Amino acid sequence: MATYSQAGTYSGTPSGAPVGVSLRVVDATGSDAVLYTDIYKRKTVGPIVRANPAGVVTFFADPGTYTVQWTGGSTTVAVTGGVVDTSAPSSSGSGSSTTATVVSTALAPICGAYHSATEVSDGVVTGVNTMVRFQLPPTQFGALRLRFTNSRAASTSESDGPFPVTIKASVGYTANGTWVPVRLNGSSTFTIEGGADVQTDPVSIFPTAGMQYLYVKTFASVTAGQTWYPQSPEGVKGTDWWCSQSNGETDLTLSTATFNATSGNMPFAPSAVVDEYSPRTRPSVALVGDSIMAGINDTNLGFGIRALRGVMPYQRTAVSGSTVFHFTNPLNSRRRLNMMRGCNLFIEEYGTNDLVALSRTAAQIQADRLYIWQVLVARGMRGGYATTLIPRTTSTDSWATTANQTPLTSGSNPEANRVAINDWIRDGAPLDPITRAVAATGTSGALRAGATGHPLLGYFEVADTVETARNSGLWKVNGTANYLTNDGIHPTAAGNILMAPAIVTATLTAAAAA
């Protein structure tokens, strides 16, 4: 009989099983089954399980056939998956194996986006209700927590929230089902001081593999006359998040009434959902950059989230208008760096604002990007991927044709510097093998991405997806106005959809597992 280093999973609706009653799981011999807390077999649990409100039963056991029993009935189910421990000898006899390997885990982001804007509430409104549906990757989780922050990032700096914000929150499997309170240190009401970044106690529901969304309600309030920085979710209001606010707004976090308000514009939502037991071999990707990564002109999605949402864990920290130059100052980036804790990979996209707003050269931007990569690796990430820089042009016909586009010429020759940066990245971002400083493109014997000692594992070619030809400096067109961009800087939804496949998720999965 095989010995398994990882358990399999059953997650389904047992035929005829009642909801809300205890169910017993027995193995093929009729004995109580050996079940585990998760696929990594950290701890055994008793054979009693229950269906969630949707009728789904989930448990972890060695692969095989099991019987789920209840008063007056039973049904057979199959546990699939699991990993055979090839280092262990085969065993015989009845019962399930208790041999397990220890899997290194960490508290890591599953999904989320740190807020970046300059808005602040008006000092009249005292409370806001926000509901968000977080799209989950198709993986099994250990224990989920919510991360709340009371701060914001702007183009050149970060700042603490102006006043403490009092929070009540709840989680649910659906938008209109049962809501379970979220607690911090055992309390269902908690206050976040300005600048604080807190993680709640583990939530009291267990999302199963294949569950598409986790719904979170938050009621945030301040004392009369005080203000807060909005903590905006990603995606489309009315589809991905909902919000209502008023002077005297009341807590709706446990209300079962349909919540579909879109009148509010100062939402306060978690900045991330995190997994307390995320395997270090599972990718959790930090998305680092400016408004292009932040999804301006794309309902705050962007190519990074479009590539990873619902596919693998991520935490976005991109800030509209920001530069790699300002990020290199720890006083301007410490809150964003803190938001990335637990991530084991990064995708970094900085450069366009440095070229134009700051008139910086390719050499300066290369050195600054290198510094960021080194900092992220020093903070515990395995490495990451740089992206090439997309075009930046003006147009006299709303980007309907290439003939009427002109690469931007303001600043210090930004187009020539963009091309130089992209060619350097495509060459593996060569570094001097002794000093680890930036080396020229084409340097023989240089240290390149993927080599031991280089902070990059590789790069993702996003520029080619929207540029007419490599290094042309022009946006692709299809004859219609504002197809891939409506300002020559930011991709539209169509542009981000073209860019997203440049992020190869299989590459990220392999990098995390290496």
The pLDDT tens digits for 358-389 are 999 999 999 999 999 999 999 999 999 999 99
Determine phi and psi for 302, rounding to 5 degrees.
Answer: 85, 170
Distance CA 273, CA 107 (A): 10
Handedness of CA 251, 256, 261, 267 (dihedral sign): positive
pLDDT at 171 over 70: yes
Could you report the per-residue pLDDT of 236-254, keeping only the tens digit for each? 899 999 999 999 999 999 9
CA geometry: angle 26, 32, 36, nearest 5 deg: 90
Residue 256 CB neighbours (<10 A): 11
H/E segment holding residue 285: strand 285-288
Residues 291, 262 contacting (CB under 8 angstroms): no
Residue 98 has pLDDT above 60, yes or no: no
Q: Is-contact 376 286, C-beta < 8 A? A: yes
Which residues, listed in sequence order, are joined to residue 237 by a DSSP beta bridge? 241
**Range picked from 136-150, 262-276, 340-354 for highest mean pLDDT:** 340-354
Separation in Å, CA 335 to CA 117, 121, 327, 382: 14, 21, 11, 20
b/e burial code for range 93-105 (CB count within 10 A of at least 16 → b) = eeebbeebeebeb
Question: Which DSSP string do the residues of 100-132 spell out, in sequence order?
Answer: -----EEEEEEE-B--B------SS--EEEEEE
Q: Work out the mean pLDDT of the chain and round it to a whole number.
A: 89
Structure tokens given for 125? 């409104």
User: In CATH, what is the architecture of 280-513?
Assistant: 3-Layer(aba) Sandwich (3.40)
Q: What whole-number percentage of the chain has pLDDT above 90?
A: 67
How confident is the model over 266-302, as pLDDT tens digits? Answer: 999 999 999 987 888 899 999 999 999 999 999 889 9
Name the nearest CA neighbour of 382 among 275, 509, 271, 504.
Answer: 509
* Comparison of pLDDT for 136 and 486, the residue scoring more: 486
> pLDDT digits over 455-480, tens only?
999 999 999 999 999 999 999 999 99
Question: Whole-model pTM above 0.85?
Answer: no
Pairing, β 285-288 against β 314-316: parallel
Burial class (CB in 10 A: 0-12, 13-18, 19+), 183: middle
What 207-211 contacts at long range (C-beta under 8 Å, 24+ apart), as own/partner pairs, is 207/136, 207/141, 207/144, 207/173, 208/11, 208/52, 208/56, 208/58, 208/140, 209/9, 209/11, 209/58, 209/138, 209/139, 209/140, 210/11, 210/138, 211/136, 211/173
Q: How confident is the model at residue 205 (pLDDT cuts 50, 70, 90)?
A: confident
Three-point CA angle 499, 502, 503, nearest 5°: 110
Percent of the chain surpassing pLDDT 70? 92
Domain residue ranges of the chain, discontinuous segments joined by +? 4-91, 118-272, 280-513
Q: What angle do CA 283, 491, 486 make, to 5 degrees?
A: 165
- The arithmetic mean of pLDDT across residues 392-415, rounded, is 92
| 3-class DSSP assignment, residue 448 | coil
- For residues 109-134, give the mean pLDDT: 89
Give residue 335's pLDDT: 92
User: Which element (helix H / strand E) includes 282?
Assistant: none
Q: Using the 8-state DSSP alphabet, how is residue 329 labeled?
A: S
Q: Is the pLDDT of residue 116 over 80?
A: no
Closest CA to 508 of 448, 458, 464, 454: 458
Stronger pLDDT, 342 or 60, i.e. the higher one: 342
Question: Does residue 428 carry a pLDDT above 60?
Answer: yes
